[in-house]
Structure 1
Amino acid sequence: MKTIKILAIPLLFIGCLVSCKKDTPVTTADTEKLSETKEFKVDFEKFTLDNGLQVIFHIDRSDPVVAVALTAHVGSAREIEGRTGFAHLFEHLLFLESENLGKGGLDKMSARIGGSGANGSTSRDRTNYFQTVPKDALEKMIWAEADKLGFFINTVTDPVLAKEKQVVKNEKRQSVDNRPYGHVSYVIDKNMFPKDHPYNWQVIGSLEDLQNATLQDVKDFYNRWYVPNNVTLTIAGDFDTSQAKEWVHKYFDEIKKGEDIEPLKKRPASLTETKKLYYEDNFARLPQLTMTWPAVHQYHPDSYALDVLSSYLSEGKKAPFNKVIVEDKQLAPNVTMFHYGSELAGQFRLIVRGFEKVDLNEVDKAVQESFTKFETEGISQEDLDRIKAGLETNFYNSLSSVLGKGFQLAQYEIFAGDPDFINQDIKNILAVTTDDIKRVYNQYIKGKHYVATSFVPIGQTDLILNNSTLAEVVEEKIVEGTEENFDASIVATYDKTPSNFDRSVEPAYGDTPKVTVPEVWEDNLTSGIKVYGIENNEVPLVQFRMNIRGGLLLEKSNKVGVSNLLAELLTKGTKNKTAEELENAIESLGAILNVYATDESIVISGSTLSKNYDKTVTLIKEILLEPRWDEKEFGLIKQSVTSQIQQQKASPRSIAGNEYAKLIYGEDHILSHNNLGTEGSVKEITIKDLKQYYNNNLSPSVTKLHIAGNISKEQVTTSLTELNKNWVPKDVRFPELKAPTSPERSKVYFYDVPGAKQSMLRFGYRAMPATDKDYYPVSIMNYRLGGGGFASQLTQQLREGKGYTYGIRSGFSGTPTLGSFVISSGVRSNVTYESTSLVKEILENYGKNYNDDDLEITKSSLIKSNARASETLGAKLNILTNISTLQYPNDYITQREEVVNNMTVEEVKKLANQYLNPNKMIYLVVGDAKTQMKKLEQLGFGTPILLNKENEIVKD
């Protein structure tokens, strides 16, 4: 896909890691209140064209935008062995060109119409294409989607296919081959499903299969699966349904129906033995045990109980796996567990990434002990209710945008047989009983066979599970000049598909939507807290973000990591609640609460059901004013953070971010440090250090609360009464930060990761803060360079033109005091020099070649995209943050339109010449020094400086 979403598994990981879902008994009153919520219903209209196209409409007039999604019921499960990765390859191809959109296709049009960025995703069972656009572009989108479905395949030529193969292969290198534990799912699926099962291979396919794909293979796949009777079109947002119906008929009716497609039969995995496998991972620094049991398909009646079971077993202080593995035996910082259901089968997966040098046999014993603990204690009704409350909040969060609702309606149509399942799904979640939990555990987990994988650092096979066999994993070698050449500029010649009207004429815009800036309210409390809010009643949710200025800024360079450890500890109990009781109290409200530290703040953020907002604020007050300072929890947190730091050492992406900060700030600057700290500094930090930071720096006088959702200003103000009264202000002093200087001459720095399949690039310099008068103008200037996605020159030349990368971007970022410019990408290892040289060339010529067409595209995109600027609660919080932190006026969104409209080509050229000098930048490359470092001398910036000199480079 265009931005990697190969499977839902990474999303499940995110949900487990960022949600601080917690745990205390729910009272009868609380349980009754949970059931009092007014039934949430998503209305829709569905109709079917004569050619079989399913069409679903949903009206939401809260913002002048429309989300359009085309979902094909084809994923990797419809492929055959030896020709894997085709569904995902098509997700890429369909954006490039179609007969009437021309070269650049939907990507090029999206840049003009202010779309959210045309994108797509592929799973085992479906591929979707989507974006949100201003409502005046709806006909254009319907025209474009029809062109992809009925007027596309002739535009795919051998050069187009050759180039896109390289892009997809780069995606695989980035998301799998160059990533710690990237091959885990490959090993599991190969051993979970038989060779002829459509889930035996990965969605992204193999590099060999992708390389062997022929043009005829591609055409055959498209003609079989991309037909109206295998596709659902969803339109959600602010539009006229009768007019939209006319457009759908006009553009889709004449596309011919394909052959009938028989549904695939459910085919759950069945293991006759437990399989144990191991692999020495080049990028891993810690041992990881993954255990996977066959389970049920998506929306199976038992899938809901399995979801709850995974949550109960692994999430929160009370979870049996947390009690045994994390707290008692201290083998790992956390445990991840989830049920992953697909159309044909499902998996129940447990992941334990141990601390350094932990024997995975000890982890295995602890897993069995954890299961025994669950069997003995079971799950209480109170625990079940708190988990349901969290699932209810997550469900509403998934529907908080028109695109989210559109996605779900299509999902339910294809996999549940009816879009109305959107109104049944939450009922099924809330109907799970404690007996259901026990039953599914006994039926699918207890005593059943599973696949166990031990992934360990190279040379540490002494840590693997006993009786494990070596897993077969295909590793790509770095060889210069092995990729095929192609000319992506060649224009395809073909006979156009006939139509009963001239489809080459792009539809006109509709009436220009009126951009409504959300009404912002403000309140300055007597304690010094500044409150900024937006009331919005689309879903029964409230989202909030409290910024307490400080973070890394207020730390000492010899004890970096204090603010991060403090943020972690604040959720581990209060004066009157243990960590377990606090977690229970949070999750029982259906709340998600995160406390984390950044370079310049400690942040308390989250969401809650609006009916439980007051109780959530009470808990926030308790966390802030009555920390528990639990020594045991502090020790566990230090172990966990140390593990994170060790893991970062194995990730090229993390290495690039950490090393780039050192280079642009300088070694003596506090912000040059990783805010997690180092293994040494974390070891030295004590609770006394945390208390000192807390007593000196956490103050209402440097706090700003941003809140959006189904809540009024009066309700918010009233809820903050106790916090305002009891939080004593302090005089927080911020150090004078020396502004880092930009380099007078470019230098190249290299960090060696032997065997890296990609090189991570970070090029840039210290730039202006976000309050500088040029900050927004340079963002306008940067749009066509690298800020406009597929409208950017960097993307068009390095990805679309050369196939060097999966993605590349550039941008200015800043705070009230500091800012930076950075170009970032991951490129194929054997074109590291070529990619860097091309970026340098683009920078040199950007200002010189900038023209009226570039400016017109920039203006159209930036102005029209304002229709989407405040659609979601998260977007509203970002608006409030800009207003409060950067002192932007409340209507800055519309004021910026004037800045964009007044921008000239000459002004852009001037800004480019001033701020884009490739000879005064830092060039950082993280990759394989043995094969790539020497060639970078050709850039003309001298001999590259090796940052990790302990890595000896073997001379060729």
Structure 2
Amino acid sequence: MKAPLNFYILSFLLSLVAGTATAQQTTEAKGFEVAYETFSLDNGLKVIFHVDRSDPVVAVALTSHVGSAREKEGRTGFAHLFEHLLFLESENLGKGGLDKLSARIGGSGANGSTSRDRTNYYQTVPNDALEKMIWAEADKLGYFINTVTEPVLAKEKQVVKNEKRQSIDNRPYGHTMYVIDKNLYPKDHPYNWQVIGSLEDLQNATLQDVKEFFNRWYVPNNVILTVAGDFDTQQAKQWVEKYFGDIKRGAEIEDLEKMPVSLEETRKLYYEDNFARLPELTMAWPSVPSYHEDAYALEVLSTYLAEGKNAPFYKELVAKKKLTPNVQMYNYTSELAGQFMLQVRAYDGKDLDSVYDAVQETFKKFEAEGISHKDLTRIKAGQETAFYNSLSSVLGKGFQLAQYEIFANDPNMINKEIDYILAVTPQDVMRVYKKYIQNKPLVATSFVPKGQIELALKGSQLAQVEEEQIVMGAEQEFDLEEEVTYERTASSFDRTVEPPYGDAPKVKVPEIWEETLKSGLKIHGITNSEVPLVQFMLEIKGGMLLEEPSKIGVSNLLASLMTKGTKNRTPQELEEAIELLGASIRVNATDEKLIISGSTLAKNYDETMALVKEILLEPRWDNEEFALAKQQVISRIQQDKGSPNNIASNEFRRLIYGENHILSNNNLGTEASVENITLEDLKTYYNKNVSPNIASFLIVGDIEKNAAVNEVKELTKDWGVKNVKFKDLPVVTAPTASKVYFYDVPGAKQSVLHIGYPALSETDKEFFPATIMNYRLGGGSFASQLTQELREGKGYTYGIRSGFDGSTIKGPFLISSGVRSNITYEAVALVKDILENYPKNFNEQDLEVTKGFMIKSNARKFETMGSKLQMLREISDYNREKDFVLKQEETVKNMKVSDIKALARKYVDPSKMYYLIVGDAETQLPRLEELGFGKPVLLNPEAK
């Protein structure tokens, strides 16, 4: 739960003068500038424009200055509820609202988020749809609330409650922040409750409550509209005035006063967690609100103390005392107050008092030593890279501009923020430590596995947490077919007419350059200078495919060890060298690859690649680090045993591939297999299998071909070619008849569904046509039948999706969801029914929506560095042509309804699938036999 890096604004900044202004300032750090324009309408709506011509897309975001802090005790969760409601319908968009529109115009999928202090709604669309988006956003703000009816509210309450079950109630440590905030903030403080609210408050919310909340906070004078991308600003101003100008200003809204808190004494609490398999200590101190001048130094403090091998907490708790695989620390600030957080998930059986004592010892050492200039320099380099990464998309820039405007009254902080980040001194870091942390009262929570209370901190009191009981038939019924009439909101023109498209954008396929080295290594690259960064990826075929069945986990351990020092650098020295460059280098193993990836400031690419070479060709083979890596992997395997979602993934693998297939394993291995792996096993795997002739190098960023290739040549000149042998894999076949499998998690608040079978490889000629077919089934989010039926129609789930996942090896078709526990049978039966009818009811309208999205969304295909890198991966992995996206577009255009129906009959037959459910067997298992697939198989009868 590491919070993202926040860039805070000093509280004394002057407000932006009303009217129109154009930013021209440039950061001293790099000469990097984000130009923007801002203006206001007479009704108080603030508008920010940013023009970026690099791709034919535009991001539109509506940000309302309302979050859970504007709610009342007993009526919590309203702000987040509105995040949901505003997508459903408005007077002129009709049912389906923005979600339906998004599917037609090729949008990124309309989405939103809610925090303590703001709610935003956003998506990126092809730029020919900008007028449509401005029309739609205005309709949400001014022409929405009449469409909220009792049935609509009842259904969406169920969706939000499912979200809470999925993200909080049905996962390990999910209630931690609830307990922290209840004890850190007084009862009358608006941060005392969670953003998502309580199940009871949501259930008790009346239609009148909801309308009053909307009319108070969703008014133009409390909202910011940001538009960022490739568009004509003069035309866009006219559209904003036209569509938003009629909306009436609301009552004046005064800013809330800052409400920092203090504690008179330390509070210790414990909780027995139904899903936790390891003990976890969380510590929270009151800190500062956003924009406070101390926020920057507190961010550095948290990074220095906890991140990486040079961090004091790593040295003491991880390496020396071996209490935990890692320590997380972050400064979590909001508009009114802040909290400084430390979290340690300890190893199995570790007493949290020993963890607490080690934390205090580490603080004492820091008090004596402080932070060096060198450590501060490497941290700032990483912050600079993170800052540019946050601005690498038009949506990212739009978000940042809105953030600065709504909370600091100065969007130009986007061009000044880096200077404040880089201004922190070692003295600042020690000053804020002494002011907010040293010997200060705190809240400490001990979340321990069931029956292990003795691991909690001594003197802890039982935390009060409301646990939902599973009651069959307990949810409120609703009828969305009920006819509703209302008086339409007045407008100066006919808003029922959807605006036309603008000029169709031309898909810009980036220019790709390639090179093949003598060793056989292939290089694919794209030069892109939007931000001063480079992202790269070295992919080496192998991964788990080259492991012995008795030693599963070797490649994962090798990946972990490769960044733990080199021949001539200790682990700490290697990490420091990387961070001083503002770079990141990661090594990870997948089922089929070993991957070295990273990003760096473009000016430091050559030095970063020199470190990649060391990591690749000069491993340290450190015995102590190897022992530590094994301990960390075993701890993660133990954690996963408590997560219903991870259990479902692992059990589904076994069903898909069968016991004799290497891919039926999780590449982490098992506790037993990892225990049996030796350092010699890693060396053997490395010496036999890590070879350039089965590798490719992908690079995107602010660098020319020659400079990129020269460094890769230097990297590979001493890398010897090996004759790597891949074993033949067993043939994977689909079941001839469906069967239900159940994994019992007693007391589960949701049932996790995994339904599917082994289907296609990505290289199969029908793989892409099958993904087209799946769009309206479950691949198109709110445009899909599964989402419309199970979420929007029944309120059974927060989300459901389906898709094909393959590589050069056959992979599964999978439908996955978490559903309300007490309707498990109904949800599975409905999925089965949808699958049966999909080939029959797919029609011309479905095809039109599918084609509209899949063709128009191509305008967004290459916007970010990550999306460009993904395109290169597809070209490299599957030997695709450089313009394969355009060829796929032709495939979409040529599809007919009969083609989709044939593919659906062939690839989504519900009578030939595995139905896996992970949930509470006592209440849910018996009814599943009614599906007609025989008696369900209980996979873990020992759970009883």
Q: How far apart in 1 are the matches of 2:29 and 2:538?
A: 27
Say yes or no: does 1:173 pair with 2:165: yes
Which residue of the partner structure matches residue 908 of structure 1?
Answer: 900
Amino acid at match of 2:63: T
* Residue aligning to 1:275: 267
Q: Which residue of 2 aligns with 1:485?
A: 477
- Look up the SS of the partner of 1:918 in the other structure: coil
- 1:108-140 Cα deviation digits (max 9, x unpaired): 000000000000000000000000000000000
Match status 1:820 vs 2:812: yes
Distance in 1 of aligned mates of 2:31 and 2:715: 33
Whether 1:702 aligns to 2:694 is yes
1:720 aligns to what SS in structure 2? helix
- Which of 444, 457, 462 is matched with 1:465 structurally? 457
* 1:849 counterpart = 2:849: no
Residue type of the partner of 2:634?
T
Local SS of the residue matching 2:700: strand
| Residue in structure 2 matching 1:578, options 528, 547, 570 | 570
**2:500 aligned residue:** 508
Q: Is the contact made by 1:156 and 1:492 (CA closer than 8 Å) also made in structure 2? A: no
SS at 2:696 equivalent: strand
User: CA shift at 1:37, angstroms?
Assistant: 5.1
1:14–1:480: structure 2 CA closer, same or farther, 3 Å change rule? farther
Closer, same or farther: CA 413–37 of 1 in aligned 2, 3 Å: closer
What CA deviation, in whole Å up to 9, does each residue of 1:225-283 have, x standing for no partner? 00000000000000000000000000001100000000000111111110000000000
Residue in structure 2 matched with residue 211 of structure 1 by the alignment: 203
Q: Is the 2:28–2:419 Cα contact (8 Å) retained in structure 1?
A: no
Residue 793 of structure 1 pairs with residue 785 of structure 2: yes
Which one of 391, 410, 419 corresponds to residue 418 of structure 1?
A: 410
- Is 1:63–1:867's contact at 8 Å kept on the other side of the alignment? yes
Query: 1:887-934 CA distances to partner (integer Å, 9 max, x unpaired)?
Result: 111001111111001000000001001111100000000000010011
Alpha-carbon distance between aligned partners in 2 of 1:511 and 1:36, rounded to the nearest angstrom: 39
**Paired residue secondary structure (1:301):** coil
Q: 2:337 aligns with which of 338, 345, 360?
A: 345
2:539 match: secondary structure: strand
**Does residue 612 in structure 1 map to residue 607 in structure 2?**
no
Question: Matched residues in 2 for 1:698 and 1:493: separation?
Answer: 68
Separation in structure 1 between the aligned mates of residue 488 and residue 134 of structure 2, nearest angstrom: 19
Q: Which of residues 428, 431, 434 in structure 1 aligns to 2:423?
A: 431
Structure 2 equivalent of residue 241 of structure 1: 233
Mapped contact 1:142–1:251 kept (Cα < 8 A): yes
| Residues 1:627 and 2:619 are matched in the alignment | yes
Is the Cα contact below 8 Å between 1:13 and 1:336 reproduced in 2?
no
In structure 2, the residue matched to 1:18 is none
CA contact (8 A) 2:551 2:673 kept: yes
Q: Distance in 1 between matches of 2:821 and 2:885?
A: 41
Provide, for residues 397-429 of structure 1, a one-character-per-residue CA deviation record: whole Å limited to 9, x for no partner: 111000000000000001111111111211111
Q: Which residue of 1 aligns with 2:193?
A: 201
**Equivalents in 1 of 2:43, 2:862: separation in Å?**
37
Instruction: Please give the alpha-carbon distance, in whole angstroms, between the structure 2 residues aligned to 1:578 and 1:724.
Output: 23
Partner of 2:662: 670
Q: Which runs of 5+ in 2 are unaligned?
A: 8-26
Give the secondary-structure state (helix, strand or coil) at the position aligned to 2:504. Answer: coil
- Residue 75 of structure 2 aligns to which amino acid in structure 1? R
Aligned counterpart, 2:388: 396
Query: Is 1:367–2:359 an aligned residue pair?
Result: yes
The residue that corresponds to 2:23 in the other structure is none
Structure 1 contact 139–507 (Cα < 8 Å) conserved: yes
Local SS of the residue matching 1:42: coil
Residue 19 of structure 2 corresponds to which residue in structure 1? none
Contact 2:29 2:419 in 1 (8 A): no
Whether 1:118 aligns to 2:117 is no
Question: Is the Cα contact below 8 Å between 2:376 and 2:426 reproduced in 1?
Answer: yes
> Which of 553, 556, 563 in structure 2 is aligned with 1:564?
556
C-alpha distance 491-696 of structure 1, shift in aligned 2 (>3 A): farther
* Equivalent runs, 1:890-909 vs 2, <5 Å: 890-909=882-901
Q: Determine if contact 2:842/2:897 at 8 Å carries over to the other structure.
A: yes
Query: C-alpha distance in 1, partners of 2:308/2:728?
Result: 40
Matched, 1:918 2:920: no
SS at match of 1:366: helix
Give percent identity, aligned residues only: 67
- Tell me how far apart the structure 2 counterparts of residues 346 and 619 of structure 1 sit (CA, whole Å): 38
C-alpha separation in 2, matches of 1:72 and 1:707: 38
Letter in 2 for 1:643: S
Secondary structure at the residue paired with 2:941? Answer: coil
Which one-letter code corresponds to 1:311 in the other structure?
Answer: T
Partner Cα distance (2:121, 2:482) in 1:
25
- 2:299 maps to 307
Question: Given that residues 488 and 800 in structure 1 are in contact (C-alpha distance below 8 angstroms), is that contact kept between their aligned partners in structure 2?
Answer: no
Per-residue Cα deviation, 1:56-113 (whole angstroms, up to 9, x for no partner): 0000010000000000000000000000000000000000000000000000000000
> For 1:638-717, what aligned pairs fall within 5 Å after superposition?
638-717=630-709
Instruction: Say whether 1:227 aligns with 2:219.
Output: yes
1:518 equivalenced with 2:515 (yes/no): no
- Name the SS of the counterpart of 1:615 in structure 2: helix
Q: Counterpart in 1 of 2:726?
A: 734
| 2:732–2:758 CA contact under 8 A, matched in 1 | yes
Structure 1 unaligned regions, length at least 5: 1-8, 16-34
1:186 to 157, 160, 178: 178
Three-state SS of the structure 1 residue aligned to 2:332 is strand
Equivalents in 1 of 2:312, 2:207: separation in Å? 53
Q: Indicate how the Cα distance of structure 1 residues 114 and 10 shifts in structure 2: closer, same or farther if over 3 A, else same.
A: farther
- 1:13: Cα distance to partner? 10
- Separation (CA, whole Å) in 1 of partners of 2:484 and 2:297: 52
State the match for 1:289 in structure 2: 281
Provide the C-alpha distance between the structure 1 equivalents of 2:560 and 2:483, rounded to a whole number of angstroms.
Answer: 55
SS state at 1:950 partner: helix
Given the alignment of the two structures, is residue 774 of structure 1 paired with residue 766 of structure 2, yes or no?
yes
Cα distance between partner residues in 1 of 2:261 and 2:354: 28
Query: Are 2:760 and 1:765 equivalent residues in the alignment?
Result: no
CA distance in 2, matches of 1:694, 1:822: 34
Query: Which among 704, 724, 745 is matched to residue 737 of structure 2?
Result: 745
1:99 aligned partner: 91
**Distance in 2 between the 1:614 and 1:427 partners?**
26
SS in 2 for 1:132: strand
Amino acid at match of 1:518: P
Deviation of 1:318 (Å): 1.4
* Match 1:325 to one of 304, 307, 317: 317
The superposition leaves residues 498-555 of structure 1 with CA deviations (integer Å, 9 ceiling, x where unpaired) of: 1010000000000000111011111101122111001100000001111111111111
Tell me, in whole angstroms, the C-alpha distance in 1 between the residues paired with 2:333 and 2:903: 51
Letter in 2 for 1:236: A
Q: In 1, distance between residues paired with 2:810 and 2:5?
A: 33
Structure 1 distance, partners of 2:349, 2:485, is: 60
Partner SS state of residue 389, structure 1: helix
Paired residue for 1:884?
A: 876
1:45 maps to 2:41: no
Partner SS for 1:814: coil
**Contact 2:29/2:418 (8 A) holds in 1:** no
Q: Distance in 2 between matches of 1:688 and 1:10?
A: 35
State the distance in 2 between where 1:85 and 1:472 align.
Answer: 19
Corresponding residue SS for 1:920: coil
1:756 aligns to 2:756 (yes or no): no
Instruction: State the one-letter code of the partner of 2:232.
Output: D
AA in 1 matched with 2:218: Y
Deviates most, 39-48 or 122-131? 39-48
Q: Once the two structures are superposed, what CA deviation does each residue of 1:744-780 show, in whole Å capped at 9, x if it has no partner? A: 0000000000000000000000011101110100000
Verify: 1:451 aligned to 2:443, yes or no. Answer: yes
Equivalent position to 2:928, from 898, 911, 936: 936
Give how far 1:38 is off.
Answer: 2.9
- Residue identity matched to 2:189: H
Partner of 1:22: none
